[in-house]
Chains A and B, each alone.
Chain A
Amino acid sequence: MSVPPISGIPAVSPGHPAVPPGSRLGSEFEKAFEAVESGIGGVGGAAKPDAASAIGSALEAVSAAEFEADAIARNLAAGGDAEVHDLMIAMSKAQLSVDLLVQVRNRALEAYTEIMRMQI
């Protein structure tokens, strides 16, 4: 499901100042999901499924979330201008990303074992 963009509203993300631009988690995830989708859509089609790169980019997105939380934690511990809520938000984002990754892995593994159990 996709929502059409509203004209006149530029897609600018209000990120944390300590975090470099372009590392926004949502877009990272979208990229990862696109990679996963193209991997799945490629089964039986012309393009080869590339599960390894899909999982790789998903892992990178999760890793980026953890690095973001880590950077804010370091800034806060060093007496920087980071706020406690920013750290908590970054940490919960990282945790949710890991939860999502684990769920995706569980489902993929489930499908694999289901197929392996099939009697031929």
Chain B
Amino acid sequence: MGAFDAIDISATGLRASSLWLDVIGHNVANANTVRSTEEEPFRSFMVRLAEERRGSSLAGGGVQVVALDQVAGEPTAVYDPTHPLADEEGRVLYPIVDMAVQMTDLIIANRSYQLNVRALQSSQEAYKSALKIGRS
């Protein structure tokens, strides 16, 4: 058992939440990425998390991001003949980004980051309290 296991575990949560925030930012930034009908449309990404069993603590090692998945779903072909990417029928593919999902995910990711910071602060305070043991 290392001295800073609780801090290291919270750090993995912080790293995962931070990456999740990055991914949501990427999805929202590409919400207007139009592609031609010959290509795959932009599909929003999702982080896949897994429990980390390694680490010196008996409790576990925290969390890790194992993969980035892309959402399934039928692309919507929109009639826009003036678009430079439009095909012979004047259609382009719109990205598959559900803004409602992205916004709720953003709130969850943000809260998750804050919670990990709080957990880290608590373990820090516990450590500081331990240093006060026996102080006259």
Please report A residues at the B interface, Cβ cutoff 8 Å.
3, 6, 9-14, 24-27, 29-30, 83, 85-86, 89, 92-93, 96, 99-100, 103, 107, 110
From residue B61, how far is it (CB to closest CB) to chain A in Å?
A: 6
Please report B residues at the A interface, Cβ cutoff 8 Å.
1-5, 7-8, 10-12, 14-15, 18, 52-56, 58, 61-62, 64, 117, 120, 124, 127-128, 131, 134-136
B1/A26 in contact, CB under 8 A: yes
List 25 A-B residue pairs with CB atoms under 8 Å apart, sorted by A's residue number: A6-B58, A10-B54, A11-B54, A13-B56, A14-B54, A14-B61, A14-B62, A14-B64, A25-B4, A26-B5, A26-B8, A26-B56, A29-B2, A30-B3, A83-B15, A85-B11, A86-B11, A86-B15, A89-B10, A93-B4, A96-B127, A96-B128, A100-B131, A103-B135, A107-B134
B3/A26 in contact, CB under 8 A: yes
Please measure, in the bound complex, the distance between the C-alpha atom of A99 and the C-alpha atom of B131, giving whole angstroms.
Answer: 8
Q: Please name all residues of chain A whose beta carbon is closer than 8 Å to the beta carbon of B12 when the two chains form the complex.
A: 14
